[in-house]
Amino acid sequence: MKKQFALCINNKGYEASLIQRKFYEIIPDEQARQDDFVRVIDESGEDYLYHENHFIFIELPEEVEQVLVAA
Protein backbone atom coordinates (compact mmCIF):
# COMPACT_ATOMS: atom_id res chain seq x y z
CA MET A 1 0.00 0.00 0.00
CA LYS A 2 1.33 3.41 -0.98
CA LYS A 3 2.15 5.73 1.91
CA GLN A 4 0.46 9.11 2.04
CA PHE A 5 1.92 12.36 3.29
CA ALA A 6 0.60 15.82 4.11
CA LEU A 7 2.41 19.14 4.44
CA CYS A 8 1.72 21.06 7.65
CA ILE A 9 0.71 24.64 6.82
CA ASN A 10 -0.75 25.66 10.19
CA ASN A 11 0.42 24.49 13.62
CA LYS A 12 -1.48 27.05 15.72
CA GLY A 13 -2.35 25.44 19.04
CA TYR A 14 -0.08 22.47 18.30
CA GLU A 15 3.35 24.10 18.17
CA ALA A 16 4.98 21.24 20.13
CA SER A 17 3.34 18.54 18.01
CA LEU A 18 3.46 19.93 14.46
CA ILE A 19 6.10 21.90 12.57
CA GLN A 20 5.03 24.17 9.73
CA ARG A 21 6.41 23.28 6.30
CA LYS A 22 7.14 19.69 7.39
CA PHE A 23 5.71 16.57 5.78
CA TYR A 24 3.85 14.10 8.00
CA GLU A 25 2.85 10.54 7.27
CA ILE A 26 -0.88 9.97 7.13
CA ILE A 27 -2.42 6.91 8.74
CA PRO A 28 -5.62 5.92 6.86
CA ASP A 29 -8.71 6.53 9.03
CA GLU A 30 -11.98 6.76 7.12
CA GLN A 31 -14.02 7.65 10.21
CA ALA A 32 -11.75 10.61 10.96
CA ARG A 33 -11.89 11.80 7.33
CA GLN A 34 -15.69 11.86 7.47
CA ASP A 35 -15.37 14.41 10.28
CA ASP A 36 -12.69 16.48 8.45
CA PHE A 37 -9.84 15.12 10.56
CA VAL A 38 -6.66 13.37 9.54
CA ARG A 39 -4.54 10.94 11.53
CA VAL A 40 -0.83 11.74 11.30
CA ILE A 41 2.34 10.64 13.03
CA ASP A 42 3.37 13.86 14.75
CA GLU A 43 6.53 15.01 16.55
CA SER A 44 5.83 12.66 19.48
CA GLY A 45 6.24 9.72 17.12
CA GLU A 46 2.65 8.64 17.82
CA ASP A 47 -0.41 9.01 15.62
CA TYR A 48 -2.99 11.65 16.55
CA LEU A 49 -5.99 13.30 14.93
CA TYR A 50 -5.77 16.88 13.67
CA HIS A 51 -8.24 18.92 11.71
CA GLU A 52 -7.44 18.75 8.01
CA ASN A 53 -7.10 22.56 7.79
CA HIS A 54 -3.62 22.17 9.32
CA PHE A 55 -2.40 20.39 6.17
CA ILE A 56 -2.37 20.32 2.42
CA PHE A 57 -2.46 16.96 0.71
CA ILE A 58 -0.28 16.40 -2.33
CA GLU A 59 1.00 13.57 -4.46
CA LEU A 60 4.76 13.24 -4.11
CA PRO A 61 7.13 11.71 -6.64
CA GLU A 62 8.07 8.15 -5.72
CA GLU A 63 11.70 9.15 -5.08
CA VAL A 64 10.61 11.74 -2.50
CA GLU A 65 8.28 9.27 -0.78
CA GLN A 66 11.12 6.76 -0.50
CA VAL A 67 13.33 9.36 1.17
CA LEU A 68 10.58 10.35 3.64
CA VAL A 69 9.83 6.72 4.53
CA ALA A 70 13.53 6.00 5.09
CA ALA A 71 14.02 9.08 7.31
Residue range 14-63, pLDDT digits in tens: 999 999 999 999 999 999 999 999 999 999 999 999 999 999 998 878 88
3-class secondary structure, 47: strand
Which residues share a beta bridge with 27?
Answer: 39
Tell me the residue ranges of DSSP E strands in the chain: 4-8, 23-27, 37-41, 47-51, 55-57
Domain hosting 42: range is 4-70
C-alpha pair distances (Å), 9 with each of 22, 34, 55: 8, 21, 5
Q: Say what the pLDDT of residue 2 is.
A: 74
Question: Has residue 64 got a pLDDT over 90?
Answer: no
Amino acid at 3: K
Domain at 24, CATH number: 2.30.30
Which residues share a beta bridge with 41?
Answer: 47
Domain count across the chain: 1
